Structure 1
């Protein structure tokens, strides 16, 4: 009986606070958002409304497991990016003006997490339509929402 309850608890959505730190060249952006965190089939899912006003009404979903991170955006901005340490992976970014093919070479992924909470960091080189667009470092800090 106890195991079943623990499994149900793992699948429950939890309200979380998210700190999103991005660094590209000498520009650093820090944003905060509220979201939901849940665990399903060995992967964690983090869903939140993008706090960046330039992205309009866009919902981001970050999915991760031991092998990769996937970031999917839906709404005013549509994108799909996958990050695997030491690999170059295809992705896309779509605006009303059209779709831009992307590729990301992931240098490394660092997980300092316990039950989905903590920090998730990665750095990657971005290629937009085959052209190098820069190195980006991201860190998500995920904490339980305080009531």
Structure 2
């Protein structure tokens, strides 16, 4: 069953902190949770993000003007892709930890990782999603 949710997206890289709000849908299927929303960042154009998580990993998949497929597994280096209209980048992600404070898919999901773009260190990124039921209807 899909539920309407409000999402607070907090990202931090170096000293830059970005906080964005989005509305989306949350559902549970085959031992995984799925969170789908339109990217609120105008630089991403018309892009839909799907965040899928289970006990082992978090995946972030984007479709639209920006295409990406990123997998985060605690203590693991994973490969990913990020494609913009200007071109495609190969990414490597080293995930330091995934923190789940969730009950039935609601709560907070946070992770931090080092990102390498075409083999070059691009920085440490911390992401936190706060997912709440949307009772505005």
TM-score (norm 2): 0.98
Correspondence 1:56-75 to 2 at 5 A: 56-75=45-64
Q: Which runs of 5+ in 2 are unaligned?
A: none
- Residue 95 of structure 1: CA displacement? 1.1
For residues 21-73 of structure 1, what are the alpha-carbon distances to aligned partners after superposition, in whole Å with 9 as ceiling and x for unaligned? Answer: 00000000000000000000000000000000000000000000000000000
Q: Could you tell me which residue of structure 2 aligns to residue 32 of structure 1?
A: 21
Q: What are the equivalent positions in structure 2 for 1:1-147 lying under 5 Å apart? A: 12-146=1-135, 147=137
Number of positions where the alignment pairs a residue of Structure 1 with one of Structure 2: 136
Partner of residue 9, structure 1: none
What is the TM-score normalised by the length of structure 1? 0.92
Point out the structure with the larger strand share: 2
TM-superposed deviation, 1:103: 0.7
RMSD of equivalent CA atoms: 0.5
* Larger helix proportion of the pair: 1
Secondary structure, counterpart of 2:4 in structure 1: strand
Unaligned 5+ residue runs, structure 1? 1-11
Higher Cα Rg, which structure:
1
Moved over 4 A (4+): none
1:51 is paired with a residue whose SS is: coil
Deviations 1:77-113 (A, max 9, x none): 0001000000000000001222100010000000000
- For residues 71 and 132 of structure 2, what CA distance do their matches in structure 1 show? 23
SS of equivalent residue, structure 2 residue 107: strand
